[in-house]
Structure 1
Amino acid sequence: MGFSELLHTIGGMGNFQIFQTALLLFPAVLIACHSFLQNFTAMTLGHHCRPANWTNGSHVPGGVGEGDLLGAFIPLDKDQKPEPCLRFSEPHWQISNLNDTSALSLDTEACLDGWVYDRSVASSIVSEWDLVCEHKSLKSIAQSIYMTGQLVGAIAFGIFSDRCGRKTALQSGTLLMITMGTSAALAPSFPAYCVLRFLSGMAMTGIIITSLSMEWTPTHRRTLVNIYAMYMITLGQVVLSGLAYLIRQWRWLQGTVSVAYVIILLYSWYVSSQTHSVLGTLALSGLSSWEVFADLRTVARLNGRKEQGRKLTPEVCGRLPSVAERLERLLPLKRKANHGPPLEYEVNCWHLLSSRFSAGFSFYGLGLDVQKFGFNIYWTQVVFSVVDIPTKLLTGLSMGYFGRRITTVSLLLVAGCVILVTAFLPQDMNTFQMILCLLGKGSLAGCFTCLYLFTMELFPTEVRQIGMSAGIFSTRLGSLLSPLVYILGNHSPGLQPVMFGLVPLLAAAAASFLVETKNQPLLNTIQETEQR
């Protein structure tokens, strides 16, 4: 008996599945909060050089006020604002009352005595450790270090969850997130902050792999449940904006979002014990474990199918191959891959992973740089989040009618084209640029919705956890590289939209060769996948 038939026997989308889905949607909210947290904790505040021997107006001749002091010490830029990275080599009191100093040719120097920040708005790691001017690339590097942690976590927790079970992996990841995330809020230095954020990224991947699982969900409900999970990620971005608006101190915001994972830790004792992969347990044990069948009977009882649950026995459900037998079956496949043309399954996996890489690269490239548009960052983040709602709904409808492949290709094409257009727009068209970026980010959010389900359906049970880890690895590899593009963009601003637009277009070409998995049951072995 296949697992799809087994699910139908014990109630399909019954009370257990509904209750489990409701509880497992909560981690998606916190996952989104932590993924976009640095938009607020690393906010670039208004700043200018600290004049030498300046203590809020003291040591100023003739009773000159603080506003006049800036005119004497700090040149103005083309927008008549104090230059953020330059100051006069010596004070020029004769021009302190002038409104425009940008055209004057006066000697300037770098900020040798630090910076003054507008702390009336908020505090951030930028103002805490002076990540501005020649050090502003450190802000992007901090985000890349966090993404690197997720990259490493995809490998570590993928193996860990297979060997120790999902309950242990989920609880370990949650406990690590609480500890490291809270510690990051207390970090005494920027290097310590980066190390703790790296460990937080590892923990995040462990939670993603083990919590957002739909193996208990019947085939005809997988698309709907997946849409719900993706909407919770959108909700998480809105919740983060609200929290950041209320909590303006970055340490308190970092700590609040991290401590919230205690909720997951508390109810994981029940939920995770019922959400481990039954097929994975059976396959690894070789024989159908009576302990596993006790869990299945519990699910059947909760779904009102107690009598059907009693009839479940190892003889009825059949025996799955042992680890040794699976390795023996995989050897011919490996020989075929090494000495002949690549397996169709392997080719599909590479196309899928390239799509996830491009989606992660461009999605985070747009979503982690909302401050560049010059609008209120809190409302901008909300708008960038809310735009995902209609696109994810359209993605769900498209997956149901047209399938996964056409939906993925179409969304990647739309995202790539609209992002490329922004490269040719004048810098003063901020509003139109933001509208196009919203459309691109929404398309990529819908693409994520499709690719997550696509990944689960493409990888068979015996390698699904490894496949999910590989998918997250490729996504985080893309998101790791996207902040580094900001550093290149400091020297060539047009390079950012070109790179964020071309990569999805190339991935769309690769995704067009993917096999369609619409309305297909979750398969157990690679051989079954090859036959399909």
Structure 2
Amino acid sequence: MAFQDLLDQVGSLGRFQILQMTFILICNVIMAPHSLLENFTAAIPSHRCWVPILDNVTVSDNESGILSQDDLLRVSIPLDSNLRPDKCRRFVQPQWHLLHLNGTFSNVTEPDTEPCVDGWVYDQSTFLSTIVTEWDLVCESQSLESIAKFLFLTGMLVGNIIYGRLTDRWMSESARWLIVINKPQKSLKELRKVAHINGMKNSGDILTMEVVRTTMKDELEASQTKSSLWDLFRTPNLRKRICLLSLVRFLTWISVFGLLINFQHLRTNVFLLQCLLGVITIPANLLGIFLLNHMGRRMSQLFTISLLGISILAIIFVPQEMQILRMVLATLGGAFSFVSVGNTLVHANELLPTTIRATALGIIGISGSIGASLSPLFMILKTYFDSLPWIIYGVLPILGSLVVLLLPETKNQPLPDSIQDVENEGRIFRQVKQKDTFIKVTQF
């Protein structure tokens, strides 16, 4: 708990911390667009079956030019339940009788139809080419589009597991973490480097190994016991936190990625929607910080994660003709998804002990990545009921927000350094309040 004393000597928010945040920001800027790119590379344009009298320039059925393209389309493609040209079937033979405006042919049987055996014609007004048009991932093969997204996100999951440890080589290791794993010499080196970068010239003389050992005496004694993966589930309080945080991350990530990578299924202008999301990202994250400071960790998550689900559910009830309202709801859903992600990350960091925080966050992160990779598969359910995937994406975060209430509040409370701190959190916090001593608390 005394690490704040050392941090104050080297600068708690100076040039070093700003450089670290800038480096992380650059990495996120490079990585994040790859997930959202699916809205463009896997977009599904309007399509219909290829038919000879419309699409084969060598066919001479309409040489005189008497019939329009709409007439030829009418006799070639049946209408679906929405009275629009069917996307997946065509008439076996042209139905010329359909051109009679006042004709009612009671004796005419239902015309025979067939699948798009000769391929499809795609609307290229918005996208000249996508993986859907290149590989014909429509109709009977439309589930393959969701599977392609599933494989992409599964690759991210595998990458997070395999390459997670490499981050320690690219970034300066946490001095606090080095102390709690019994590496005070390396911790002192990192603290002096931070002090130098932050311009704290006198800290070099003040920061000595004796100061570090004296200040962090309890943490160094606790570090003599090595922590392992199984320690996450050995004690009841920590086990409960890991399970609940993993469940929240799993449920939330399903909906966050389900919304963000499926914008094209909302039948809105994905280019405009992506621009609106880019504009709203910064104010949305500022709102998240404000809510964390004024509502606490639990209530802010209950508020933002629930609104994420409500925004998605509301889209279901808005007709496609009301494009502006659908765009507003989708933008709000994207904004609340960004805030929800940030708030859940903050809460998880503050609930986990420093000695095993990296491992615990890895387990929770894997749960979230599993949810993200599964999210595209729910879109396959559109074949049974068009709104079913969106109902699932809307209900799951609401359930996740209720799970948050089972976790303790961490605002203005001491960060746990060891598993023992987690198990004895209530008793330690009461002692701290009684003594009214200066400790590090989790406030921005």
Q: Same fold (TM over 0.5)?
A: yes
Residue 136 of structure 1: which of 134, 142, 147 is its match? 142
**What's the offset of the Cα at 1:64?**
5.7
Q: What's 1:193 paired with?
A: none
Moved more, 55-64 or 317-326: 317-326
Contact (CA 8 Å) 2:149, 2:376: kept in 1 or not?
A: yes
Write out per-residue CA displacement over residues 216-243 of structure 1, whole angstroms, 9 at most, x where no aligned residue. xxxxxxxxxxxxxxxxxxxxxxxxxxxx
Q: What's 1:73 paired with?
A: 76
Q: What's 2:49 paired with?
A: 49
Q: What's 2:168 paired with?
A: 166
Give the secondary-structure state (helix, strand or coil) at the position aligned to 1:61: coil
Q: What's 1:18 paired with?
A: 18
Residue 200 of structure 2: which of 298, 305, 315 is its match? 305
The CA distance in 2 between the partners of 1:99 and 1:35, in whole Å, is 52
Q: What's 1:315 paired with?
A: 210
The CA distance in 1 between the partners of 2:269 and 2:312, in whole Å, is 22
Number of residue pairs matched by the alignment: 414
Give the secondary-structure state (helix, strand or coil) at the position aligned to 1:415: helix
Q: What's 2:434 paired with?
A: none
Contact (CA 8 Å) 1:50, 1:116: kept in 2 or not?
A: yes
Percent identical pairs in the alignment equals 35
Write out per-residue CA displacement over residues 40-86 of structure 1, whole angstroms, 9 at most, x where no aligned residue. 00011222212259864112335166936544533455777543211
Residue 515 of structure 1: which of 383, 404, 408 is its match? 408
Is 2:352 the partner of 1:459? Answer: yes
CA 1:519–1:31: 2 relative to 1, 3 Å: farther
Task: Answer with 1 or 2: which has the greater Rg.
Answer: 2
Q: What's 1:243 paired with?
A: none
The CA distance in 1 between the partners of 2:103 and 2:308, in whole Å, is 42
**What's the offset of the Cα at 1:483?**
1.5
**What's the offset of the Cα at 1:10?**
0.7
Give the secondary-structure state (helix, strand or coil) at the position aligned to 2:34: helix
**What's the offset of the Cα at 1:401?**
1.6
**What's the offset of the Cα at 1:155?**
2.8
Q: What's 1:531 paired with?
A: 424
CA 1:351–1:99: 2 relative to 1, 3 Å: farther
The CA distance in 2 between the partners of 1:85 and 1:99, in whole Å, is 28
Query: RMSD of the alignment, in Å?
Result: 3.4
1:334-413 alignment, distance < 5 Å: 343-413=236-306
The CA distance in 2 between the partners of 1:80 and 1:280, in whole Å, is 64
The CA distance in 2 between the partners of 1:452 and 1:54, in whole Å, is 55
Give the secondary-structure state (helix, strand or coil) at the position aligned to 1:306: coil
- The residue type equivalent to 1:149 in the other structure is G
**What's the offset of the Cα at 1:307?**
2.2
Write out per-residue CA displacement over residues 431-481 of structure 1, whole angstroms, 9 at most, x where no aligned residue. 545544443443232111111111222222222222222232222222222
- The residue type equivalent to 2:63 in the other structure is G
CA 1:374–1:350: 2 relative to 1, 3 Å: same
1:202-351 alignment, distance < 5 Å: 272-273=170-171, 275-284=172-181, 286-290=182-186, 292-318=187-213, 321=220, 325-327=224-226, 343-351=236-244
CA 1:502–1:93: 2 relative to 1, 3 Å: closer
CA 1:112–1:401: 2 relative to 1, 3 Å: same
Q: What's 1:153 paired with?
A: 159
Q: What TM-score does the superposition give when structure 1 sets the normalisation length?
A: 0.69
Q: What TM-score does the superposition give when structure 2 sets the normalisation length?
A: 0.81
Moved more, 485-494 or 55-64: 55-64
- Structure 1: 5+ residue stretches without partners: 168-271
CA 1:57–1:75: 2 relative to 1, 3 Å: farther
The CA distance in 2 between the partners of 1:329 and 1:480, in whole Å, is 27
Contact (CA 8 Å) 1:371, 1:377: kept in 2 or not?
A: yes
The CA distance in 2 between the partners of 1:48 and 1:425, in whole Å, is 26
Contact (CA 8 Å) 1:48, 1:116: kept in 2 or not?
A: yes
**What's the offset of the Cα at 1:360?**
1.0
The CA distance in 2 between the partners of 1:368 and 1:440, in whole Å, is 12
Q: What's 1:252 paired with?
A: none
Contact (CA 8 Å) 1:140, 1:486: kept in 2 or not?
A: yes
- The residue type equivalent to 1:112 in the other structure is V
Write out per-residue CA displacement over residues 347-398 of structure 1, whole angstroms, 9 at most, x where no aligned residue. 1232222222222111222222222333322012223444444443222111
The CA distance in 2 between the partners of 1:493 and 1:54, in whole Å, is 30
Contact (CA 8 Å) 2:309, 2:394: kept in 1 or not?
A: yes
Moved more, 348-357 or 136-145: 348-357
**What's the offset of the Cα at 1:399?**
0.9
Q: What's 1:88 paired with?
A: 91
CA 1:7–1:476: 2 relative to 1, 3 Å: same
Is 2:399 the partner of 1:503? Answer: no
- Structure 2: 5+ residue stretches without partners: 426-444
Residue 132 of structure 2: which of 123, 126, 133 is its match? 126
